[in-house]
Structure 1
Amino acid sequence: MQQQEFDLYLQRARKFQERLSRHLFFETIPLTAEVRHSVEPIPFAERLNGEFRPIREGEKWGDSWDSGWFRLTAELPQEWAGRPLALRIGLGGEAMLFDEAGVPKFGFSAGSVFGPHYRKELYQLPENRAGKTVEFWVEAAANALFGVAMNADPELDEPHPYGKCDATAEVMRIGWFNRELWLLTLDLEVLLDLLNVLPPRCRRADLIVSAVSRAADAFAESPANAAKARAELVPVLEKRASASAMTAVGLGHAHIDTGWMWPVRETVRKCARTFASQIDLIEKYPGYVFGASSPQHYLYVKEHYPALYEKVKAAVKSGRWELLGGMWVEADCNMPGGESLVRQFLHGKNFFRDEFGVEVDNLWIPDVFGYPASLPQIAKLAGCPNFLTQKMSWSWSNRFPYHAFFWRGLDGSELLAHFPPENTYNAVVTPSELVPAENRFNENTVTDEFVSLFGIGDGGGGPKEEYLERAARLADLEGAPKFKFDRADRFFRRLAEHSAELPRWEGELYLEYHRGTMTVQARTKKNNRKLEELLAAAEALWCALPLPEYPAAEFDRIWKVLLLNQFHDIIPGSSIRKVYEVTEREHAEALAATRKLLDEAASRLLERDGEAVTFFNSLNIDYTGPVELPENWAEAAVVAGTGPVPVQADGSRVTAEVKVPASGFLTLRRNGTARNAVAAGSGELLLENGLIRYRFDADGRLISAFDKQLGREFIPAGTPANLFSLYVDRSNAHEAWDIEEFYINNKCGEARSTEPARAFSGAVQDGLEFVLRIGSSTIRQRVTLGKHSRRLDFETAVHWDEARKMLRVAFPLTVRTPESTSDIQFGFVRRPTHTNTSWDTARFEVPIHKYADLSEYEYGAALLNDCKYGCRLLGNVIDLALLRAPKYPDWDADRGDHTFTYSFLPHANGAVDSEVRAEALRLNRPPQRFDGLAGSAELPVRVEAEQVELAALKKAEKEDCAVVRLVERGGRHSSAVLHTACRLVETGLTEWEDGAELTPVDGRIVVTFRPFEIKTFKLKK
């Protein structure tokens, strides 16, 4: 075939394909339609309790986020008897077809920014009722797959900052469907798409365009000739794949974000639309397998659509529906604490086991923005040794080198990992996706198969029927990988057979993208941290009471609120305002409920005493430092036991210096009257005690930090610390998600004092107060230094009134080190502080938890925090991200008032051998105070250790015993002494099994740990 001839036939083929879709129906009639409009969703059983109005095609029925029930009827012509029929429904958003019993049947969706593959308007009816009246009930939502239309790069005078949707009944029809023509369009889709990945001139391509040209001749512009046209394509569709072709293991998929560009409320219906559509396909296509993650989503369906849920359970039992992912939701992995990650697995795996009798063995988080080095151990101990994601393909600077490998964590635990080489979890089953995936799969000499996750996510209903038809044509087709339906668990078992040949990756999986998610939506991040710490204290305190009194159901409810809001578009800050309105309300309620649980436990354990307050320290290290007393104690002398306690009163704030023992209690009593007032400072901006001396300038900047014991200055001359800087924050794309490396060149302000600093001094601590202005925002900072501490606390209140700006605070140090040390979940990581390689350069913003540290061999300094996560650690500077102000997708992101504390801590030795971790724990979880109560109680276990941390003390999920979780945090072989009268029975994170047993001797058990090892024990009498 000559080139000119080939080009002519190819052009004809594509035009032929374009025209066919216009003739899918031989004949249609409009449906008679009525709609009941509502602002909130209305259940099927209540749909008739309201007024319906007639509506025709082309008419608007609702605005953004509205709901509507459509009653659709038609008289079917008798001449349609025996012919395939279909609905064509387009209501300007998402919609769900119900059967006569109110069970969801099928999900419709409008178009998507991702292209035509994502539109679902056709539903082929399973029966023909020609000559009769038919009725259909459809629930519509005035939002598409990705919420309502929003400008992704809005100007500050954007007329619709929260988006807009004019929901219109675009098409409502029923008709005689030309199924043979539909199949012909699918034949052509596969063959013509295959041309996109074949060599530009090859015999296979010539044969295809020739066959399509013959099909066009046979079609002769008559839809009735579809079968004849298809027959011309059989020879090229029957050509088999090459012997060396890989196999794409196709798993139907529907990644449903629990909350993102829509409120969580809408996720309930997205799950129903998706689950119903996939049950429909499972019933139609033998061998097809669908998989879905997130027990929270299954719970939504169980609660709101119980009959559909029973169908799902039957499909799971048959093996055609695979439960994926051990986590409660597909959680973010940068911000949740270590115990939160444990509970994601604990609640997720328990749900799947209780409801379905299935133990899921994979960590399934394809869309998460980075993965900490402690995650392999957590997942493996939770019984999930297999790991799947594709997000690392999004990294901006460096290409991740593997697709099938072992991921090794901090402690040496390994997960068998697979990164699907299509680089998407929304594949559409086409050669132009599958062939490049085969070509880029790096371990193709080790294994001959890879996973293809295909389907429309986020409410699009999962795979369309067209996808399954394309899969059938690609099962064994020359020029493409083979394609077969299969389950992920079977794929991982086959991959494990090649374990000896697979490469390994050690340490964190840092995503070189979406770095702004560590900072934006600061209230949500703060409330998450506070709730994590409060829950840990409350669970421990209740363990001092008889276990039958333990409020397990309430703890379960609160934990699931926390876990849901750790979803990977909620806590990272990449959702719309409607999401955060609910999240902030739920966090506030959960914090109040947890505080109520603490108070209730204390009231049962302690005695009433109107002259006393009692503090409970749930940490397994002593708490030494300031605590706040009730305001009405300002005039009183305070004693602990028989000894006086230093107290100072500064306005409404009354502070005492105390020591609360590890896992213990301290009661203070008022004893006579003796005011310990705060005195005004000398006017010099100096905070000093016997250990250290700090000097400030008038703008609140730290200009000197001289450690008297070490004899060292920590702040470089002429380079102040506590330096607030404002930066222009405009990313290239994905505004809430991203900060770009070039932000550092766009500094637009530093904080300046707006009134003289106030100095104060008292028996507990000395301090300075600054009022600063930066940009259009105000910063109020109270800086305090205890009498016996190096730790300098910066209690900060910001009224944030910026747009597209970022606030950071920097601490340059007189420390030279090639690596930083940062706290992460259940451990720490060290990262380069230089930019030697492109991998180092890409880490210009990294996730941290409670501290970041720069240390030389003999000394260093750390910056602690109580709710921040994004940090720049380059050279000799710790630079903490505080606030951002993107306008998309939440126009109001972070506007308003914020409070947070960070602390500067110089120290001897390296970070691990210093007091850094202990002080970070004390900052984040100070003792709980109970007013009007006195006394103490015994916890069932007390942990004595230098490097081993008490991560959790709680009631077991399924047994009447307590559970204790311990973590080695020093990165070394360590031991802990457990003081207990109970036997220790080792178990996993899910608490399903009983392992080795340890018996106390004289009330003590010594437990040894490998570096970073997590151990969980049941405490049995």
Structure 2
Amino acid sequence: MNEKEFQIYRERAEGFLERLKNEFFYETVDLQAEVFHSVDPVPWAKRLEGSYVPAAEGDCWGGLWESAWFHITGKVPEAWAGEPVWFKLELGGEILIFDDGGVPFCGLTNTSVFAANYRKNLLEFTPKARGGETVDFYAEVGGNGLLGDEITPGTDWRCEVGDIRHLKMGRFNVEAWNLANDFEVLLSLLRTLPEKSYRAVQLNMALNEAVSAYADDPANAAAARSCVAPQLAMRATDSALSTAAVGHAHIDTGWLWPVRETIRKCARTFSSQLYNLERYPDYVFGASQPQLYAFVKEHYPELYAKIREAVKSGRWELQGGMWVEADCNIISGESMVRQFLAGKNFYMDEFGMDVRNLWLPDVFGYSAAMPQIIRKAGCDWFLTQKISWSQFNKFPYHTFHWRGIDGTEVLTHFPPEDNYNSALKPEQLNYAVNNFNENYFLPEFITLFGVGDGGGGPRPEHIEHGLRTADLEGCPRVRFDRADAFFARLAEHAGELPEWAGELYLELHRGTLTTQARTKRNNRKCEQMLAQTEFICSVLPAADYPAETLDRLWKVLLINQFHDIIPGSSIRKVYEVTEAEHAMILAECENLVRSAAAKLTAPDGDALTVVNTLSYDYTGAVALPEEWASHRITDGAGRELLTQAGENGVWVLGEFPPQSVTTLYRGEAVEAFPPEADDSLVLENDLVRYEFDADARLVAAFDKTIGRDVVAGAAANLLALYVDQPNKWDAWDVDFTYVDTPPAYAKGVKAFRSESGPVRQALTFELTVGRSAIRQQVVLTENSKRLDFNTEVDWKERHRMLRVAFPTTVRAEEAYCDIQYGFVRRTTARNTSWDFARFEVAAHRYVDISDACGGAALLNDSKYGYRLDAGTLDLNLLRSPTYPDSEADQGTHFFTYSFLPHAGGLCGSEVMQEAACLNRAPAVLPGKGTFALPCRVAGGEGVSLEVVKKAEKSDALVIRVVETDGRRSTAVLDFARGTKLVETNLLEWTEEGELPIVDGSVELTLRPFEIRTFLVR
């Protein structure tokens, strides 16, 4: 057989398969339907309250994001007695079919991004009809496709929302369907073989014998199958690898659809998988994200009961310790802890299961702080595949020990198929075999198969593929299995595995560090407010602690940290809800603090109590109510504090110790004097002098403590507007080529001194850039070098990106970047392709560069995307993609970034203190403080008391302390109550040692970046 003949025979077999797919379902009759259309979903119990109208194929019942109930009836023809009878339903959206008791039975969908002709539209009614029986059921339809409305920007494809395309009942040729599955597997195998190989030629001929035997007659399907049966019976070689095939359905909690629709996606997916479990006794399915199970428990309790039974049987695997598959670049250290705390407690409380893996197949990079958090949350294993997406460098391992900033390691596996939507076909399986970096000594890898989101997970066809590839020559051996069983076997090889230290940086999707800036800012505010609220409420008696409210608020925040919500890659409908929920969290936290204050302070109209919950001195200005302006203000010792009238109140300059409660008193009225006129664009105190030009550029920054101009020779606060047209993923990506087009720079419209006094000085600049307006109030407080740029932007751009750069005289090969509960060092050079790929990196509250003379830091209250280039600190402020949200970040934005020169290196400077203070101002409570916080750091540097709260399962207090400097640090903790500390893990499940509290104090020593959690009893 020559090459041309081989190709023609193969094309004949491929064409036959496509024709065969249309011949399973035949001799159809129409089903009758009536439809009740609604804008919002209507639950099963209220489906009969609507007005139903007749519906038929060709009708359109509604539009995108709308909903409908279909009542479908029919009668099986008498002539079909003894035959399999199936339905073919395409009703203009995602379908959830219910049984007679109102329990979700199975989900169907229409087109998929994974294949233009993807359909999950067939469902068995009965394997053997009696003939004459009636059909009567209800189906709920959501007006959206598997992935929302649009596949990719610029396409004209839309799912057929509302269009009734198929409403049929028909006979089903099971043997022809099985023949198609045979052909799917064998043709896929054929495509992996060399054309001249003996196996390929024999396989090609067998397929063509089957085509001839079929003879365009479905009645010949069994005869055709017999032609290929010997090929399917050929066993895998002794040297073949194995794969643990886990049925999987990655469900994005919010993305191209609102979270509301995810609830129904869960019901469609989970009911479909119960359907599969009943029909395939060896099949195993797994699903992650406790939030999704919580949705099902609330909205579909009978379905949830079935899931619990499937979990108990061992064939349904609970996966992933986090509440949702959360972003791991942007969320705080404590948010990461709470993802595990909420997630693993839910699994334990609801199922009695301790889930030991972190399951994040689709997250956009992984912080180096994670290994410690993963292990201290009781997880031993980590799975992702996303790093395979990296643009420039191929990650060297698929199975390895990942080591974090504190030295903790976690066993990690990347599925070598480089995806989590396998079809269990030989092409994908053999790609994995050859791609698997550890295939020279590890006997198996993991495969995740099925179509997620609206695809409902594995289809029966996927499972059939797995059955055919279980022991097939030319493929790895496929075994349906659980992920935890696979990882347990993998752990037996732990001593042989390589190591990777530091972050798992995704060389892609760098724009997610900036997109949807309002969401990111409010997330940061919620994180800080929740921590402060817990701290204050922990002073209350255990019975008064608002545990249920705080748990609810945390879980609302956690769901909005999903990896397509907080990164900014979802549609507008998602952010409308997220912004409202963030506002709710902040408002309820304020109410909780106000309620606590009423119990903790004595009423006094001339007293206010300032509560600093940080582990640092707060030595800056604190805002007090407007009615306190023009009054003498003293502290509890009678010392008069410096004050200054502001736009909306009065600024008081105080020193508030770590974890302190300080009462301020309002005395007699004093005469307010207007500030002296000063037209200079200079801000100066005893520590530093800053000079600006009319375009708000910082032209000089002289640090008096070290005698150095930190920006000499280059203007800083350089606000630049770049063209931002990513090649592919609009909301997701920033391409390195953005610097090739010269930016537009902000131009001054007006500049003036807006504040002057003993507490702080301020300059205000009004600027324009592009079509947008910027207003900056630049503030210098009396006792600080920190220069705050309080910024308001009226943003009207499309496909533009606003950045600010601070070129400095500091020359350092590395920058220190704040991450969750620690920092990482990153190069400022571009020596290698790995360095180049990190042209945009994630950092939280600060980035610092230092040399032998000192350094400079760029702080912020809500930004995450930095560019590090030699001595320049560059911060990504705003960007305006148009897909998937055409209105992303249009409108008004408020944020603060700060420039801070300093003496010494990072850990000997005030950078961490100032960054913490910028992000969490003290709480100001009405009345006189009559309480003390339950715990405080009394001595020692490098240790931060991050959390004080009530325990999850008892009335004990929980405290969490963190080593912040990356070295061995010691600190003394003082306690207002309690007699002993019992060390526990992040979940509060363990008791790992007891420390007595002697005279109200305990001395602790922590390893570099160590996180320790204690119960205070």
Q: TM-score, normalised by structure 1?
A: 0.98
In structure 1, give the amino acid aligned to 2:933: L
Q: 2:706 touches 2:853 (CA, 8 Å); kept in 1?
A: no
Q: Within 5 A, what are the aligned runs for 1:63-462?
A: 63-115=63-115, 118-126=118-126, 128-149=129-150, 152-153=153-154, 166-462=161-457
SS in 2 for 1:809: strand
CA distance in 1, matches of 2:873, 2:674: 33
Q: 1:118 touches 1:456 (CA, 8 Å); kept in 2?
A: no
- 1:989 counterpart = 2:986: yes
In structure 2, give the amino acid aligned to 1:415: V
Alpha-carbon distance change, 706 to 761 in structure 1, aligned in 2, over 3 angstroms: same
- 1:934 counterpart = 2:934: no
Deviation at 1:61, TM superposition (A): 1.2
Partner residue, 1:55? 55
Q: Within 5 A, what are the aligned runs for 1:816-855?
A: 816-855=811-850
In structure 2, give the amino acid aligned to 1:935: G
Deviation at 1:677, TM superposition (A): 4.4
- 1:602 counterpart = 2:603: no
Which stretch shows the higher mean deviation, 707-716 or 128-137?
Answer: 128-137
Deviation at 1:749, TM superposition (A): 1.1
Q: 1:63 touches 1:164 (CA, 8 Å); kept in 2?
A: no
Partner residue, 1:557? 552
- 1:633 counterpart = 2:634: no
- Residues 680-718 of structure 1: per-residue CA shift (max 9 Å, x gap): 44211111111111111111110001111211110031x
Q: 2:110 touches 2:159 (CA, 8 Å); kept in 1?
A: no
Q: Within 5 A, what are the aligned runs for 1:744-783?
A: 744-783=739-778
In structure 2, give the amino acid aligned to 1:147: G
CA distance in 2, matches of 1:48, 1:185: 41
Q: 1:751 touches 1:772 (CA, 8 Å); kept in 2?
A: yes
Which stretch shows the higher mean deviation, 563-572 or 111-120?
Answer: 111-120
Q: 1:681 touches 1:760 (CA, 8 Å); kept in 2?
A: no
In structure 1, give the amino acid aligned to 2:1013: T
Which stretch shows the higher mean deviation, 671-680 or 741-750?
Answer: 671-680
Partner residue, 1:582? 577
Q: 2:949 touches 2:958 (CA, 8 Å); kept in 1?
A: yes
Q: 1:664 touches 1:937 (CA, 8 Å); kept in 2?
A: no
CA distance in 2, matches of 1:70, 1:680: 75
Which stretch shows the higher mean deviation, 637-646 or 525-534?
Answer: 637-646
- 1:649 counterpart = 2:650: no
Alpha-carbon distance change, 1015 to 53 in structure 1, aligned in 2, over 3 angstroms: same
In structure 2, give the amino acid aligned to 1:857: A
Q: 1:96 touches 1:104 (CA, 8 Å); kept in 2?
A: yes
Q: How many residues align?
A: 1012
Alpha-carbon distance change, 204 to 678 in structure 1, aligned in 2, over 3 angstroms: farther
- Residues 896-926 of structure 1: per-residue CA shift (max 9 Å, x gap): 1111111111111111221100110011011
CA distance in 2, matches of 1:215, 1:209: 10
Which stretch shows the higher mean deviation, 671-680 or 540-549?
Answer: 671-680
SS in 2 for 1:11: helix
Deviation at 1:116, TM superposition (A): 5.2
CA distance in 2, matches of 1:769, 1:219: 82
- 1:673 counterpart = 2:674: no
What RMSD, in angstroms, separates the aligned Cα atoms of the two structures?
A: 1.4
Aligned match for 2:658, one of 646, 658, 662? 662
Deviation at 1:58, TM superposition (A): 1.6
- Residues 206-234 of structure 1: per-residue CA shift (max 9 Å, x gap): 11111112212221211111111111111
Partner residue, 1:1004? 1001
Unmatched segments (≥5 aa) in structure 2:
none
CA distance in 1, matches of 2:313, 2:1004: 45
Alpha-carbon distance change, 48 to 292 in structure 1, aligned in 2, over 3 angstroms: same
CA distance in 2, matches of 1:841, 1:153: 30
SS in 1 for 2:604: strand
Unmatched segments (≥5 aa) in structure 1:
none
Deviation at 1:831, TM superposition (A): 0.4
Q: 2:195 touches 2:201 (CA, 8 Å); kept in 1?
A: no
- Residues 450-504 of structure 1: per-residue CA shift (max 9 Å, x gap): 1100011112110000000011000011111111100010101111111111100
CA distance in 2, matches of 1:522, 1:636: 39
Deviation at 1:166, TM superposition (A): 3.8
- 1:469 counterpart = 2:450: no
Alpha-carbon distance change, 273 to 745 in structure 1, aligned in 2, over 3 angstroms: same
In structure 2, give the amino acid aligned to 1:654: V
Partner residue, 1:16? 16
SS in 2 for 1:402: coil
SS in 2 for 1:757: strand
Deviation at 1:757, TM superposition (A): 2.3
Which stretch shows the higher mean deviation, 976-985 or 321-330?
Answer: 976-985
Q: 2:946 touches 2:960 (CA, 8 Å); kept in 1?
A: yes
Alpha-carbon distance change, 140 to 559 in structure 1, aligned in 2, over 3 angstroms: same
CA distance in 1, matches of 2:794, 2:720: 15
Alpha-carbon distance change, 848 to 735 in structure 1, aligned in 2, over 3 angstroms: same
Alpha-carbon distance change, 372 to 4 in structure 1, aligned in 2, over 3 angstroms: closer
Deviation at 1:15, TM superposition (A): 2.1
- 1:687 counterpart = 2:683: yes
SS in 2 for 1:598: helix
SS in 2 for 1:679: coil
SS in 1 for 2:327: coil
CA distance in 2, matches of 1:769, 1:188: 72
Which stretch shows the higher mean deviation, 140-149 or 371-380?
Answer: 140-149
CA distance in 2, matches of 1:766, 1:164: 58
CA distance in 2, matches of 1:379, 1:681: 57
CA distance in 1, matches of 2:52, 2:676: 72
Q: 1:648 touches 1:677 (CA, 8 Å); kept in 2?
A: no
- Residues 85-108 of structure 1: per-residue CA shift (max 9 Å, x gap): 111111122111110111111111
Deviation at 1:191, TM superposition (A): 0.5
CA distance in 2, matches of 1:220, 1:62: 43
Q: Within 5 A, what are the aligned runs for 1:882-961?
A: 882-931=877-926, 933-944=927-938, 945-961=940-956
CA distance in 1, matches of 2:924, 2:772: 34
Which stretch shows the higher mean deviation, 22-31 or 828-837?
Answer: 22-31
Deviation at 1:3, TM superposition (A): 3.5
Partner residue, 1:796? 791
CA distance in 2, matches of 1:253, 1:91: 25
Deviation at 1:857, TM superposition (A): 2.7
CA distance in 1, matches of 2:475, 2:346: 40
Alpha-carbon distance change, 798 to 203 in structure 1, aligned in 2, over 3 angstroms: same
In structure 2, give the amino acid aligned to 1:669: Y
SS in 2 for 1:756: strand
CA distance in 2, matches of 1:561, 1:13: 53
- Residues 302-345 of structure 1: per-residue CA shift (max 9 Å, x gap): 00111110110000000000000000000000111000000000
Deviation at 1:759, TM superposition (A): 4.6
SS in 2 for 1:48: helix
CA distance in 2, matches of 1:118, 1:311: 28
CA distance in 2, matches of 1:4, 1:794: 70
Partner residue, 1:6? 6
SS in 2 for 1:383: coil
CA distance in 2, matches of 1:483, 1:677: 82
Partner residue, 2:520? 525
